[in-house]
């Protein structure tokens, strides 16, 4: 059975954040709240952890996993950011957006889309998620926790624990920012940034001005 960590949404307890990060560093897979539902994640380069996430969600090999980052500086070390991408990301982060981008050499190859060599990247507006990444010192290799028979991300830690806790090493109980998956923006096309999935993040103001 997984560890169950009840973390305060406004003032995350450092002791519990460290415990969750210790689990990640030991090769564990955790479920944690973000500003757009729950995510499931593990340490960068943890092949076994990524395979567990793939099985939990029944993901295809073409799935774009996501680097959950603390800030733009950390994100910029992981993906290739041109001027157009810089403007979009700066305008929309932190927030419930995932950007599909070309991966840099720092990213483990197991994370990249095998054909396009792309990966998702995001900076959530969520204190617990940001505290985890800050303590870890690197992005969390993640995927939105959408179960195979559902269309929306999980929103309650206790429900995740009861349903799939045996498949995880830790579940963090905490408030999500809002229901719904992230809005996904593909930054790799020849025509510039394109919204490929409308979710929790509203990018209309930016694209109306672009």
Residue 209: the pLDDT is 55
Residue 192: the pLDDT is 83
Distance (Å, rounded) from C-alpha 55 to C-alpha 30?
14
Domain ranges of the chain: 3-209
pLDDT at residue 124 greater than cutoff 80: yes
What is the value of pTM for the model shown? 0.94
Q: What is the pLDDT of residues 5-30, one digit of tens each?
A: 999 999 999 999 999 999 999 999 99
Looking at domain 3-209, its CATH class is alpha beta
Distance (Å, rounded) from C-alpha 103 to C-alpha 113?
9
Residue 203: the pLDDT is 85
Q: How confident is the model at residue 130 (pLDDT cuts 50, 70, 90)?
A: very high
Nearest to 23 by CA among 171, 169, 189, 145: 169
Q: How confident is the model at residue 114 (pLDDT cuts 50, 70, 90)?
A: confident
pLDDT at residue 137 greater than cutoff 60: yes
Q: What is the pLDDT of residues 165-181, one digit of tens each?
A: 999 999 999 999 888 89
**Which residues lie across from 5 on neighbouring strands?**
172
Q: Which of 19-28, 188-197, 201-210 bottoms out in mean pLDDT, i.e. has the lowest?
A: 201-210
Residue 208: the pLDDT is 62
**Which residues lie across from 97 on neighbouring strands?**
183
174 neighbors 20 (Cβ within 8 angstroms): no
Max alpha carbon distance in the chain (Å)?
49
Q: What is the pLDDT of residues 47-79, one digit of tens each?
A: 999 999 999 999 988 888 999 999 999 998 899
């Amino acid at each position: 059975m997984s560890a169950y960590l009840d973390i305060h949404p406004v003032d995350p307890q450092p002791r519990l954040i460290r415990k969750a990060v210790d689990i990640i560093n030991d090769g564990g897979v955790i479920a944690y709240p973000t500003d757009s539902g729950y995510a499931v994640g593990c340490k960068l380069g943890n092949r076994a952890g990524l395979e567990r996430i793939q099985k939990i969600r029944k993901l295809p090999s073409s799935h774009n996993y996501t680097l959950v980052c603390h800030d733009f500086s950390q994100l910029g070390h992981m993906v290739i950011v041109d001027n157009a991408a810089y403007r979009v990301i700066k305008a929309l982060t932190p927030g419930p957006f995932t950007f599909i981008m070309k991966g840099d050499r720092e990213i483990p190859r197991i994370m990249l889309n095998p054909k396009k060599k792309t990966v998702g990247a995001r900076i959530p507006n969520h204190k617990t998620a940001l505290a985890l990444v800050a303590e870890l010192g690197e992005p969390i290799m993640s995927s939105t926790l959408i179960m195979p028979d559902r269309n929306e991300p999980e929103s309650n830690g206790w429900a995740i624990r009861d349903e799939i806790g045996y498949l995880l090493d830790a579940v963090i109980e905490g408030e999500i920012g809002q229901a719904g998956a992230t809005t996904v923006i593909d930054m790799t096309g020849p025509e510039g940034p394109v919204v490929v999935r409308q979710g929790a993040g509203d990018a209309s103001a930016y694209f109306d001005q672009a």
